Structure 1
Amino acid sequence: MKKTKHLAILAILTLTFVSAPLRTGAVLIGNASGATLNITPADASYDVNDNFTVSISVNTRGQKVVTVAAYLFYDNTSFLATSIDTTGTVFNTALFESLIDQNAGTIRITVGKQSPGVNSNNALVAKVYFTAIGPAAPVADNIVFDFSAGGTADSNVIKDDGLGTDILSGVYGARYSVTPADMTPPTLTQVTAVPSSKNTRPSYTFNSTEAGTISYAGDCSSATANATAGSNKITFNALSDGVHDNCTITVTDANNNRSQPLTVSPFTIDTVAPILAEITPVPDTNNSGIVTYAFSSTEAGVISYGGNCRSTSMTNAVTGENIITFDLLPDRDHTNCTIKVTDAAGNQSLPLAVNPFLVDTKAPILSQVTPVPPATGNTRPGYTFRSSEAGTISYAGDCTSLTVNALSGNNTVFFDTLPDGIHDNCVIYVTDTVGHRSEPLLVNAFAIDTAAPVLAEVSPVPPLTNVNKPVYVFNSAEAGKITYAGDCSSPTTQAIAGDNRIVMNPLSDGIHGNCTITVTDAAGNRSAPLSVSPFTTSTGALSLSNISVSRTINTAIITWNTDRNTSSRVEYGPTASYGSNTAEDPNLVTAHSVELFGLTGNTVYHFRVRSRDAAGNEIVSGDQIFRTGSVADLNADGFVNIIDVGIMMSYWNSSEPAADLNQDGTVNSIDAGILLSDWSV
């Protein structure tokens, strides 16, 4: 009857899985006046398939007991009792009963200890091992003791009194919740597919809703054996070339729930590059700029171009024949065009070299590089021009040449023999290989001149000159470059047609009889040397010495010497400005004498002498002075002084003409006054 009651309670508690909070302590059934039975833990939470242990103990309340019978009811839909362990109990004298009835959800344990028994507030009776097998969210205890106060067929605690007294007054049950078992398998989704590539160990990324163990099927396998909840990147083991469309992945979680297979998107492993071959080459010459080319490829892929060639309209190749129209190409030789194909796996072919070809849509363009010199003595002059293309040369005007083929670039031709004269109508054409003829290239005007200039003396240098940079004039029949030889040179280096006046560079004194002049015209023709008439330069400084004066009252004779033959002339006057001069005596002498007339007696005169040689070099003395003679200078020493007074006194009152200065017949005080008036020392 008691058992039925407790099973009904447990059934009610487990009819519905409702989440309920755990209690904070065990609930006492009965009272604690006597011994009590306890279940530890009193509260717990488990997951389905968790194993857990329940300890049953007795509190004897200070009394000695010899037997404990613990009968329990449990929820057999949530728990599986697997075994009873009495190894650690202090009631180790006898194990009277140790029974589990899973179908009934009951446990019966009876243990004993001989007298004096056990006195403890927490004596272990036994341990029971359970497995959580179903969900539980109880609102009351779901492991409880079979107990009613005073009952004899249920749990009891027998006192060591020899009378079999049951002192059990209360029990504490246990309340456990169990989380439902995980029955949901992981869900897998692809995150990053495997691209077709040449990588034989490609990576793959998928998402799993749960962690678990990975299984592989089909061509694919991997060293990665465990998945995490979330994104998982795996690297497949090495795969062979080919299409792989049967790879699957499954994940089994910890509750052995296995996902549906995740099919890996098909992919191709390709480690072989495409092979290209020419089918139809480009024609050697193209005059439109639109060029087509055909080639074959063993695989489809993306085309890449090298060199001059591109095609914006053809970027992908197919397996087999491919016909390309290149983008418009410039006029020129195209020798570096290449084609490569990269397949979907990233394998790039070897470059296929397109055969060399020429695009030519325009006529050659000519330009002058090196003109014919404006004047030349070469009757077969050279001329250099540039052509944008090779071709055949044709000539017009005065000029012809044996050179008939032009290269692309610079071309030098030598004209056939031309006569003297101006040639201003020469024309060159170039016709390329496809028949395009250039515009005419007009050769610069030039003159053929094989005659040398003719020179003639016009104004020679004077035979004797004191100029060390003399002037010379000559005539040239043509303009040209002047060349000097011998003693003579000049900063003038260009001659004109006609008279040419040149000033020579400084020459040393002496005879110059080896000077020549030649003129080379613009054509390079050189005249015969023109001999400059001999001349002498004399620019050396003169020197003079021994200037002296002898004078009378009204005259003076001035003498001097020079170091070489020169003329004679004297400037004189009352001041240093002179004002009078003698006529130049052209006789060239070294001892000079010039007489001055009409001078005023007893007067100071300034003078200087001048001499000039045959070359025109002149020397002038510094300022000199002299005094003309006086009637009072009785001893004629140039001075009127005390000596003359003595002489006059020796003739005093005589009629001596020398001392009678006023010529009145008597030497007297009047004459003395004249003498003193002319006093000079």
Structure 2
Amino acid sequence: MVIAVLFALPAKAALVGNTNQATLLLSPQTGSYQAGISFSIDVMVNTNNQSVNAIAAYINYNISLFAVDAIDYTGSVFTIQWESSTTSPAGMIKIGRSVPAPGVTTANGKIATIRLRGLANTSPSSDNFNFDFTAGDANKSAVFLADTSGGTYILSGVYNAMYTIVGGTADTTAPTISSVLASSITSSGATISWTTNEASNSQVDYGTTVSYGSQTTLDSSMVISHSQSLSGLSPSTTYHYRVKSRDAAGNLATGSDNTFTTSAVADATPPVRFAGSPSTNLSSGTNQATLSLTTNESATCRYSATAGIAYSSMSNTFLTTGGTSHSASISGLTDQNTYTYYVKCQDSAGNANPDDYQITFSVASTTDTIPPVLSSITASSIISDSAVITWTTNEVSDSQIEYGTTASYGSQTSLAVSLATYHSVTLSGLFASTLYHYRVKSRDAASNLAISLDFTFTTNSFVSPTPTPAPTLADGSLVRAAGDTKVFLIQNNQKQWIPSLDVFVANGYSWGNVSVVDSSVLNQYQEGSPVTAVTIVIPSALANATLIRVNGYPKVYALVGTKLHWIPNPEIFNLYQYKWQNVEIISTAQYQQYKETKLIKGVDDSKIYYIHPNGLKHWVINENIFNSYSANKWDDIIEVLPAEVNNYVSVTLIRLQNDPKVFLLQGTTRSWIKTADIFNQRGYKWGDVVNINQTEFNAYQEGTAIE
């Protein structure tokens, strides 16, 4: 309680300067106030019908009579603050504010509200609040025009003020704190609220111990209902806090210790699936198998024989052991067929995989116990020191010949492991005019061996060889001499040295295309000028990408926004002028925040390709097919250099989902490969077969069946 004693003391306010241009004033200009009780005055401006964009109000006051509790800018016509202070013991209030163009024009615009308190031990007293002002001095109180010259000074006068303090007994009682509550608690924040029995300011001490260590910014608003927000907290953590409020007389109340616990971070990540099986060929006669996979968290997994089915629509569910090991038994399998199942999982938080996890395997053909049938065994191209032996088999098999000057043979060729039905092996290092015995051997894929009867041929007598010209290399060939590391480009009957790895990579060359030749072959070519690097314009998205690698895994990715693009080999890495030291190592959890995109297109090329997990590129021939795969998104296409597109081998073997028939794809024509034997005879690989949907299948023309 404050008991007021009123005194009739003089109060006076005066204009300093003139009103020709802008003026500053304090409102009210006079007043009497009880000691120890907060009161407010406004700092105002009259721009005299001119547009201004900045003001400086410097106000002198007597610190032995008045205390400044706060400066409030609520409702200010100037929105930008560049100075705000109350200097003590000098006794000067400094306010600097501005507003963007075109400025502000006002006859009575508020700049700020100053909250003051008369000191109880000085009443009764009166004193002036005077602007620090000298006309034309921009280092003191000032008003500036919003003009192109950087601001013209236009303050011509100020109205000072005088305030009177009347006495009474000082307030020495701190506010009473009640209803302290922590609410709106999240994983990183909370709101603390409380009430006081008198108007006071607001602040909260907080931390993970009773020592606190952190506090909120002081809210100087004098209120009885208080609220402070805490942010930047750690999830699943207990925090201690206490509230503080100080009244207008400076009496501080500090609340007791309280606690709350932040919530855990919400799980928004679907399970990670790995270790799917079976992943290889099953033996012939297998009619059932167990699908299995592992997840990195407890989950329920389902599967379908059709790609792109939503988790909620899948009807087949895995049995789960221990939450992370999943298995399902399937039956009805038949020989010579490939099977693919698509798996999605959902964790306890309801996060389901949006993409398919594929489990693909094949069942081998019926066990073969019959050796190949040998036929058409012929010796040809017989000269003095060599001969060519050819034969055919009724199934794909390897090739080898035993030979010698007797039926005991004694020599044999190296085993040619490539499986084929037509076989050709050259015997060399023979003696002239000599009878040789030989027999051929072929073993099929099931290891059944066939050995022919004995055959003979006689080598020719020795004839001095006619010198043959050195072989000619095609333009564009990449070659190096045996035992030498220098690589040359053959162009226009010249050899051009490729002087560095940078030049090699910049021209889009591949080490797999470099042939090794005898030095005599290279010596026949005239030395041309060295190859220079072509200018490569790297797509900006990849040029500015962040390079990352998951800890423990070799794959390097370019991170474009939130999309991951796999860099398939060191040649492509160097082609983009990346540096290995710039590759960042991230965790599996960080990797899972991004999406690995499989869609690419070459610069200046309209063709879009899908890169399969087996490393083959799949041309998406039209927009209808692209949209028929729900996982395809136009925004996921990454533009790459043509050399990267050329790095991938194209898909040539396809099959319709849930259909065992395999087709050879040539351009936009599909030809059915009628049997597994034909498939194997042609040297095709089952791992190169990719599944397509009905829309894409129908888009290809039906070609002649291969049989």
Question: So what's the TM-score if we normalise by structure 2?
Answer: 0.24
Rg larger in structure: 1
Question: So what's the TM-score if we normalise by structure 1?
Answer: 0.24
